[in-house]
Copies of this chain bind each other. A is one copy, B any other.
Amino acid sequence: MELAKRRGFLWPSFELYGGASGFYDFGPLGSTLKNKIVEKWREHFVRREDSLEIDSPTLTPEEVLRASGHLEHFVDLMSECGKCGQSFKISELVKERTGLDVEGKPREEVEALLEEKGITCPDCGGRLGKVLEFNTMFRTTIGPGGRKVGYLRPETAQGIFVDFRRLWRHGRERLPLPVAQIGKGYRNEISPRQGMIRLREFTMAELEVFFDPENPTHPSFGKVAGERLRLWRAEDEMKGEERMVEVSAREAVEKGMVCHQLMAYYLALTKRFLMDLGLPEERLRFREQTPGQRAHYSRETWDAEVRTERFGWVEVAGIAYRTDYDLSRHAEASGESLSVVLQPGKRKVVCHVVEPSFGIDRIFYCVLETAYLQGRKGLRFKKELSPLEVGVFPLLRRDGLPEKAREVAELLKQRGFWTEYDEAGSIGRRYARADEVGIPYCVTVDHRTLSDGTVTIRERETARQVRTPLEKLPSVLSSLLKDELRFEEAGTPLEEKEEGEEEEEGEEG
């Protein structure tokens, strides 16, 4: 986290005013990395899957969230210390003190437990007050007069459900119909104390997949059927056993471990997406939520978890079988029918929904931690995810080299590369700085560039160098970043002597 702050990936928000817990700023490198993660998600879950993507408001009128059940169910149990006045989320407190999981348990039962275990204020030891239900949606009013109540959405999903009739038409009345939304979600946490892992404002990427409950299959299941899934089933967790089962997506369905093919399809896709971000397979698993842990709308939920050094296993996505809960509730509350007629047979159904929902900030954290753990000399991202893709350096600060190098940097920026120009300090120090933030390729402009129009490219991982003509540079870099070209094919290898000379020359610069 020190490196992350120092190199501008992220830092706590509003530090100038003492900070506000549960809020983080993405700095210059962080915001680019986050955008790249979002784009990868879009590639995997929208573009390749023919999903419809929509973008609806974060502010949501009360009637929508009453119908969805959030007004009633989106609550945490809390208690305030009678002595110091600090508020606490009870389930976290109980977990810390006793290891017990009281998520979803009734208020009275939890209050009795606090008493029984003698749990007091962790800050001052004071006696805790009554256990209260606290709705964790941020509340506001829309327009003047304060009559129209609205909330910041707790999930992007409801914006999709209320649009279902339009989406059904735009999707040409086909099932399964995946609809995506990427955007902010909010949760007014009682007292967030886990940095990036528990935010009050976060970025979500969600897919609501509408399907015929009598046919929970996916036409492309064959493509992922062999994908190995590592499952921790609820029945094992409830027995207190942390036992993993490893099966293919197909087996998971056939053996009844996962409720149906459509669900297994998205488990497999989720694994592929996470691995495409460079997260190592051995740090991934799917944990089935126990009945008490599940949200009010879900019949079966699998959390995708990533093992981190700092926080242990972290939930980065939930794949929930929401059934027809949402569509039925909205149909009832609005008085409008949300059922559809399926063509062969003219069967009338209310679609069921599988929802893969991703926490982008948590994924960001995992990607950053992985880059830190894997890099011997600083951060090491999967190349295409690096927030800076190319460094451009003049070997010396004279002889027209800076002018030429700036021209090269300009060209690369025009061609869409995230490029950093650097002329400060020796070439060795500049390479080291680039290595630290994970720039995979550095281009150096030297005297030969002026005479024959070639530059050197240096590969971060191996410190090997090749010479490449300038006119080929953009296409070569683009192929290297996508791993479509091996480095030794990117140009003529630099001779040891030549390299040595340049290094030395550089030190003067």
Contact = CB atoms under 8 A, between A and B. Distances in A.
Interface of A: 8, 11, 13-17, 20, 22-28, 30-32, 34, 43, 47-48, 50, 52-61, 63-64, 78, 80, 87, 134, 138-145, 148, 150, 152, 159, 162-163, 165-167, 170, 172, 184, 186, 188-191, 200-201, 330, 333-334, 336, 413-414, 416, 418-419, 421, 424
Contacts of A330: 16
Q: State the copy count for this chain.
A: 2
- Report the 10 A-B pairs with minimum CB-CB distance, sorted nearest first: A26-B55, A28-B52, A31-B55, A8-B170, A25-B56, A16-B162, A138-B140, A23-B57, A140-B140, A57-B201
A172 B162 CA distance: 48
9 contacts: A8-B52, A11-B166, A14-B61, A17-B63, A24-B57, A25-B56, A27-B166, A59-B201, A140-B152
B14 A162 contact: yes
A150 to B, nearest CB: 8
A334 B167 CA distance: 48
Contacts of A134: 144
Given A26-B54, A58-B58, 4 more contacts: A16-B330, A17-B333, A26-B55, A57-B201
A336 B15 CA distance: 11
- Which residue, of A17, A27, A32, A190, has the highest number of chain B Cβ atoms within 10 A? A17
Contact of A184 (B58, B61, B64, B150): B58
A8 B166 contact: yes
Contact of A53 (B31, B159, B184): B31
Given A26-B54, A143-B188, A43 B8 contact: no
B190 A144 contact: yes
Contacts of A27: 52, 54, 163, 166, 170
Given A20-B61, A25-B55, A59-B201, A416 B43 contact: yes
Nearest to A62: B17
Contacts of A159: 13, 25
A11 to B, nearest CB: 6
Given A28-B52, A55-B25, A145 B47 contact: no
Contacts of A190: 143-144
